[in-house]
Amino acid sequence: MHSGRLIFAQLMDFLPLAEFRRCVARYQGEYKVRGFSCLDQFLCLAFAQLTYRESLRDIETCLRAMQPKLYHMGIRGRVARSTLADANETRDWRIYADFAQTLIPRARTLYGAEPLGVELAETVYAFDATTIDLCLALFPWARFRRRKGAIKLHTLLDLRGAIPTVVAITAGTAAEVTLLDALLFEPGAFYVFDRGYTDFGRLFRLTEALAFFVIRGKRGLDYARRASRPVDKTTGLRSDQTIVLCGPKTATLYPSPLRRITYVDGETGHRFVFLTNNFALPALQIAQLYKCRWQVELFFKWIKQHLRIKAFYGTSVNAVKTQVWIAITVYVLVAIVKKRLRLPQSLYTILQVLSVTLFEKTPIYQALAQLPDPAVEGDMCNQLALFDR
């Protein structure tokens, strides 16, 4: 893989480029295109994500400064700000969305044995959304408030490895709960939601699909208790009940029994009520499953801090979706590299190292694992200590 090649080129070797070409052909991405291919666009924007470029001019300046190395990076076309802008406006964003979807199963396979924090063999997903603020003057199509623009990033996260399996980008005004209609529920899997997704009609559809859900209950729920089970209050549990809904609407939407669990967090003292359609797992395990949902919040925080999805290189819907999907592709790619090279470092550390080493010709494992040079290490052993400890 090495043979004196740039780290950027070695990194791109982990991508299934044959799948990328199929995605391009599916949407005719290079119809009447001359000189600057979809792969060139992808590589330029992936470079921008990895090196935290601020704008198209920033990307152009940095890459032109490395003009002799662009061919070895895989970029064949001439890099220009106007060319990149045109590509972001016209190349179908679904090319990059489909390509990201080809990487996600590979990452999930690699992380399938990751510990979950709960002793559970089934797959556990968390579904949530985050709002990305936009300037209304530059993005008039993304009206969210009277003087504010925004889009929403909806993500179904596999909690083993924090791999996004479903991603949807909608207007900021879209109701988050309606995105449940787009999900294909996996029988036997667990889906964890915040209380904003309380819609008993949609939750019953999940039950009919033979999947399980854990959701935080809202106050004022009209229900009748049918049975109670003993709980160990030293663990934070307060009750474990079987209930049926009694509201004139909710009873029709969800006619089956539900399980209602009350839990008090020993660290914060906060009281939580959980609803689930699973009656087999211990009550404490249900509470722990909901606690694992915090990973999706960390995922949103991480990508906002470490990838370029808050400042955009274009103002059209197509440009914004293209950039978000390429950012997700880079995230999944780094997760794959971490696992295949068996790197102990965090994704954050790997991204930081990549940001300053992409144009070096070091073997990628040596650069990312930060292995010491044996020769340097030997010389250091002969040096006197500067300070006594």
List own/partner pairs for 219-226 with CB under 8 A and 24 or more apart.
Answer: 221/245, 221/247, 221/250, 222/246, 222/247, 222/250, 223/258, 223/260, 225/260, 226/257
Q: What distance in Å separates the CA atoms of residue 332 and residue 158, rounded to the nearest whole number?
A: 12
Q: Which amino acid is at 59?
A: I
Tokens 């969210």 -> residue: 144
In a domain, residue 283? The reply is no
Mean pLDDT, rounded, for 146-156 = 91
In a domain, residue 34? The reply is yes
Inform me whether the pLDDT recorded for 364 exceeds 70: yes
The predicted pLDDT at position 32 comes to: 80
> How would you class 388 by CB atoms within 10 Å of its CB: exposed for 0-12, middle for 13-18, buried for 19 or more?
exposed
**Residue 345 pLDDT grade (very low, low, confident, very high; cuts 50, 70, 90):** confident
In 146-235, the DSSP E strands lie at 148-158, 163-171, 190-193, 212-216, 223-228
Inform me whether the pLDDT recorded for 6 exceeds 90: yes
> How would you class 341 by CB atoms within 10 Å of its CB: exposed for 0-12, middle for 13-18, buried for 19 or more?
middle
Inform me whether the pLDDT recorded for 3 exceeds 80: no
Count Cβ atoms below 10 Å from residue 116 Cβ, excluding itself: 18
The predicted pLDDT at position 340 comes to: 93
Domain containing residue 242: CATH number: 2.20.25
The predicted pLDDT at position 268 comes to: 85
Those residues whose C-beta lies under 8 Å from the C-beta of residue 378, and which sit 6 or more positions away, are none
The predicted pLDDT at position 177 comes to: 93
Inform me whether the pLDDT recorded for 13 exceeds 90: yes
Mean pLDDT, rounded, for 108-129 = 87
Residues forming a β-bridge with 126: 157, 192
Residue 136 tokens, joined: 């209304």
In a domain, residue 389? The reply is no
Better pLDDT: 113 or 257: 257
In a domain, residue 239? The reply is yes
Inform me whether the pLDDT recorded for 19 exceeds 60: yes
* 166-209 pLDDT, tens digit each: 999 999 999 999 999 989 999 999 999 999 999 999 999 999 99
Inform me whether the pLDDT recorded for 112 exceeds 80: yes
Phi–psi pair at 118, nearest 5 degrees: -135, 135
Inform me whether the pLDDT recorded for 106 exceeds 60: yes
The predicted pLDDT at position 209 comes to: 95
Q: Whole-prediction pTM value?
A: 0.86
Better pLDDT: 118 or 164: 164
The predicted pLDDT at position 117 comes to: 75
Inform me whether the pLDDT recorded for 216 exceeds 70: yes
Those residues whose C-beta lies under 8 Å from the C-beta of residue 47, and which sit 6 or more positions away, are 8, 53, 59, 62, 63, 73, 358
* 272-306 pLDDT, tens digit each: 999 999 999 999 999 999 998 888 998 998 888 88
In a domain, residue 1? The reply is no
In a domain, residue 341? The reply is yes
Residue ranges in the chain assigned as alpha helix (H): 7-12, 17-26, 38-51, 56-65, 67-73, 81-90, 94-110, 200-208, 250-253, 283-292, 294-306, 317-340, 347-357, 364-369, 374-381
In a domain, residue 319? The reply is yes
Q: Which amino acid is at 228?
A: S
The predicted pLDDT at position 378 comes to: 41
* 43-73 pLDDT, tens digit each: 999 999 999 998 999 999 999 999 889 999 9
Mean pLDDT, rounded, for 219-240 = 92
Count Cβ atoms below 10 Å from residue 223 Cβ, excluding itself: 18
When divided into structural domains, the chain yields a total of 2
Residues forming a β-bridge with 158: 125, 163
Calculated CA dihedral for residues 207, 297, 303, 183, nearest 10 degrees:
10
Last residue of a domain, one of 249, 277, 305: 277
The predicted pLDDT at position 302 comes to: 87
Those residues whose C-beta lies under 8 Å from the C-beta of residue 337, and which sit 6 or more positions away, are 11, 14, 343, 350, 364, 368
In a domain, residue 359? The reply is yes
Structural domain for 231, as ranges? 195-277
Question: Residue 102's closest CA among 328, 301, 267?
Answer: 328
Phi–psi pair at 149, nearest 5 degrees: -110, 155
Q: Name the average pLDDT for the chain.
A: 89
Q: What distance in Å separates the CA atoms of residue 145 and residue 351, rounded to the nearest whole number?
A: 35
Q: Which amino acid is at 84?
A: L
- Give the CA angle between residues 338, 341, 345 to the nearest 5°: 45
Look at 219-233, 314-328, 358-372 and tell me which has the smallest mean pLDDT.
358-372
